[in-house]
Amino acid sequence: MGIGRAVALRLARDGWTVAATARGADKLDELVHEAPAGRIIACPGDVTDTSAVHAIVQRLEAEHGGIALAILNAGTYAKDSAETLKRDSFAATIELNLVSVAGCVEALMPAWTERRRGHLAIVASVAGYRGLPGALAYGASKAGLINFTEALKFDFDRLGLKAQLINPGFVRTPLTDKNDFPMPFIIEAEDAAERIVRGLQGSAFEIAFPRRFVAILKRLRGLPYSLYFSLVGRGTGQKKARR
Ligand X SMILES: NC(=O)c1ccc[n+]([C@@H]2O[C@H](COP(=O)([O-])OP(=O)(O)OC[C@H]3O[C@@H](n4cnc5c(N)ncnc54)[C@H](OP(=O)(O)O)[C@@H]3O)[C@@H](O)[C@H]2O)c1
| Interface contacts to ligand X, rule CB under 6 A | 2-4, 21-24, 27, 46-48, 73-77, 96, 123, 125, 168, 170-171, 173-176
What is the set of active-site residues? 138
Q: Which is nearer to ligand X, 2 or 134 (CB)?
A: 2
Residue nearest to ligand X (CB): 75
The Cα–Cα gap between 65 and 183 comes to 41
- The closest alpha carbon to 73, from 149, 4, 144, 143, belongs to 4
Q: Which is nearer to ligand X, 45 or 115 (CB)?
A: 45
CA distances from 231 to 83, 156, 190, 228 (A): 23, 37, 32, 5
Q: Which is nearer to ligand X, 160 or 184 (CB)?
A: 184
Helix (H, G, I), strand (E, B) or coil at 153: helix
Q: Which is nearer to ligand X, 27 or 119 (CB)?
A: 27
CB-CB contact of 45 with 93 (8 Å):
no
User: 9 - beta bridge partners?
Assistant: none
The Cα–Cα gap between 70 and 72 comes to 6
CB of 147 to ligand X, least distance (A): 16
CB of 130 to ligand X, least distance (A): 14
CB of 127 to ligand X, least distance (A): 6
CB-CB contact of 94 with 78 (8 Å):
no
Q: Which is nearer to ligand X, 58 or 179 (CB)?
A: 179
User: 187 - beta bridge partners?
Assistant: 171
The Cα–Cα gap between 144 and 142 comes to 5
Q: Does the bond joining 224 to the residue before it have cis omega, within 30 degrees of 0?
A: no
Phi then psi dihedrals of residue 207, to 5 deg: -110, 100
CB-CB contact of 220 with 232 (8 Å):
yes
CB of 197 to ligand X, least distance (A): 15
